């Protein structure tokens, strides 16, 4: 799991804004992310990662929260990319076809 995925998961689970220290403590306690040097994740690394993912996180009053409470998780974004890839491939094979709905249903069934 990447650090930004861990941050997102923690914020979704708690459902509330959290400080970088709180997030770092949970990441380290649960071993959600491992640094190459083996040291625990510091709160400053959480703050830096949040700053790199402004499309997912926002800082308000020294707390980190998701941009939208209903933000689509990174895993679902990955699946969205896969659906778009398959639709593009189908259109390349047959530009006049309308397989979008069928492909979406197929991918969703695979995910279930």
Tens digits of residue pLDDT in 72-112: 555 566 666 777 777 777 777 776 666 666 766 776 676 65
pLDDT reported for residue 78: 64
Residues 58, 81: one domain? no
Residues 37, 9: one domain? yes
pLDDT reported for residue 111: 60
27, 46 Cβ separation under 8 angstroms: yes
Q: Is 49 exposed, middle or buried (0-12, 13-18, 19+ CB in 10 A)?
A: buried
pLDDT reported for residue 73: 57
Which residues on adjacent β-strands are paired with residue 63? 60
Which residues form the domain of 107? 74-111
Residues 54, 24: one domain? yes
Instruction: Please state the rounded mean pLDDT for residues 21-29.
Output: 97
Give the total number of structural domains in the chain: 2
pLDDT band at 71 (very low <50, low <70, confident <90, very high): very low
Check pLDDT > 60 for residue 39. yes
């Amino acid at each position: 799991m990447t650090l930004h995925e861990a941050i997102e998961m923690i914020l979704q689970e708690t459902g509330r804004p959290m400080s970088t220290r709180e997030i770092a403590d949970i990441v380290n306690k649960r071993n959600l992310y491992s640094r190459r040097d083996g040291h625990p994740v510091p709160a400053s690394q959480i703050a830096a990662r949040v700053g790199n993912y402004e499309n997912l996180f926002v800082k308000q009053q020294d707390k980190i929260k998701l941009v939208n409470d209903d933000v689509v998780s990174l895993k679902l974004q990955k699946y969205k990319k896969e659906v778009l890839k398959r639709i593009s491939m189908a259109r390349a094979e047959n530009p006049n076809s309308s397989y979008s709905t069928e492909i979406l249903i197929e991918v969703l069934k695979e995910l279930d």
